[in-house]
């Protein structure tokens, strides 16, 4: 399958907007944080334009790691942009923690495939950006940044600039930066899609470790079925464009999970099921 090419300009401007929005929204955290996507459709370019998403509804319970897979161009990124508050739905709505999404907000952290770090800031300053905008005092900021630097294994790189880092390291900074805002929900759009397979495996392990510690609600888009099954509690399969939810597959594989799982019969059975769901979509449309 083809990996989507990140639209770096779009992503850079989006990252900027998200960060500016960080302090615009006071957020009441509660244990009922969740995502509800209600009858969402998205058409690009007016009424004669492209129907990208067609009447999608689903919910993500608190603390669930929910993965979305689907053929290229089916609207996965569009759906995440809607949830981030960066696009407006043509109809329907998305609620996060009971509040309708109209704009980016601190309770939704986003990690893109392309690297959307601020190139002129050090690793530490990138991670610190959100807490600083919120007016958090310097000693507390330092503590939080140190904690996340350690969790993503970048303590020794705190004073490096993004251009001095590998692709995997940049994504680790992006994850740390998102977490430093203490979001209720993490929106991740093929965050490891541009990485080589070894780095990808390392990043999957790291994300599992971080997620098992913080238990955020995650909406994670990927092309990679093994990645979906390794990470997810549930996998939503989208149809080819216009994107609809075609099926959902529960991943009842106990945690903590390790990458050796891919050899287990239950994993292989789920993989076969997902492959067949996806292949139907690709065959019918190409």
Is 52 one of the binding residues for ligand ADP (CB under 6 A)? yes
| Selected binder of Mg ion within 77, 181, 217, 239 (CB under 5 A) | 77
CB of 4 to Mg ion, least distance (A): 4
CB of 8 to Mg ion, least distance (A): 13
Q: Is 230 helix (H, G, I), strand (E, B) or coil?
A: helix
CB of 223 to Mg ion, least distance (A): 9
Residue 234: contacted member of ligand ADP, Mg ion, none (CB under 5 to 8 Å, by partner type): none
Are the C-beta atoms of residues 216 and 140 closer than 8 Å to each other? no
Q: Which two tokens stand for residue 30?
A: 């509660």
Residue 269's H or E segment, with its range, is: helix 265-285
Site string for ligand ADP, 241-260 (x = CB under 6 A): x-------------------
| Separation of alpha carbons 72 and 240, rounded Å | 8
DSSP for residue 262 = G
| Separation of alpha carbons 51 and 43, rounded Å | 4
CB of 4 to ligand ADP, least distance (A): 5
Nearer to ligand ADP, 15 or 123 (CB): 15
Nearer to Mg ion, 34 or 77 (CB): 77
CB of 45 to ligand ADP, least distance (A): 5
- Total interface residues for ligand ADP by CB under 6 A: 14
Site string for ligand ADP, 193-232 (x = CB under 6 A): ----------------------------------------
Alpha helices by DSSP H, 85-224: 123-133, 138-151, 167-180, 197-214
User: Do you find a cis peptide bond into 242, omega within 30 degrees of 0?
Assistant: yes
Is 4 one of the binding residues for ligand ADP (CB under 6 A)? yes
Which among 71-79, 194-202, 255-263, 267-275 is the span making contact with ligand ADP, rule CB under 6 A? Answer: 71-79
Is 182 one of the binding residues for Mg ion (CB under 5 A)? no
What is the DSSP track for 121-152?
S-HHHHHHHHHHHTT--HHHHHHHHHHHHHHT
Are the C-beta atoms of residues 72 and 241 closer than 8 Å to each other? no
Q: Which two tokens stand for residue 27?
A: 């957020």
Site string for ligand ADP, 72-101 (x = CB under 6 A): xxxxxxx-----------------------
Q: Which two tokens stand for residue 45?
A: 């370019």
Nearest partner of 142 among 106, 96, 172, 180, judged by Cα: 180
Q: Which residues bind Mg ion (CB under 5 A)?
A: 4, 77
């Amino acid at each position: 399958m083809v990996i989507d090419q990140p639209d770096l300009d779009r992503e850079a401007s989006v990252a900027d907007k998200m960060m500016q929005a960080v302090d615009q929204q006071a957020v009441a955290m509660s244990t009922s944080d969740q995502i509800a996507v209600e009858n969402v459709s998205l058409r690009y370019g007016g009424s004669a334009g492209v129907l990208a998403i067609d009447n999608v509804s689903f919910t993500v319970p608190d603390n669930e790691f929910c993965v979305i897979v689907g053929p290229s161009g089916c609207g996965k990124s569009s759906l995440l942009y809607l949830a981030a508050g960066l696009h407006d739905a043509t109809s329907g709505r998305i609620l996060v923690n009971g509040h309708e999404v109209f704009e980016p907000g601190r309770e939704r952290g986003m990690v893109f495939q392309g690297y959307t770090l601020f190139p002129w800031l050090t690793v530490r300053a990138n991670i610190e950006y959100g807490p600083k905008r919120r007016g958090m005092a310097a000693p507390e900021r330092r503590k939080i940044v140190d904690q996340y630097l350690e969790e993503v294994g970048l303590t020794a790189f705190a004073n490096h600039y993004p251009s001095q880092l590998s692709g995997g390291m940049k994504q680790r900074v992006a994850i740390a930066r998102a977490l430093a805002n203490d979001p209720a929900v993490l929106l991740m759009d093929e965050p490891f899609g541009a990485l080589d397979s070894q780095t990808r495996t390392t990043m999957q392990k790291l994300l599992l470790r971080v997620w098992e510690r913080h238990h955020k609600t995650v909406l994670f888009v990927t092309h990679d079925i093994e990645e979906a099954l390794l990470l997810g509690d549930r996998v939503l399969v989208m149809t080819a464009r216009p994107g609809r939810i075609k099926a959902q597959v529960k991943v009842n594989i106990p945690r903590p999970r390790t990458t050796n799982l891919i050899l287990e019969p239950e994993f292989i059975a789920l993989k076969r099921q997902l492959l067949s769901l996806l292949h139907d979509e690709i065959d019918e449309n190409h």
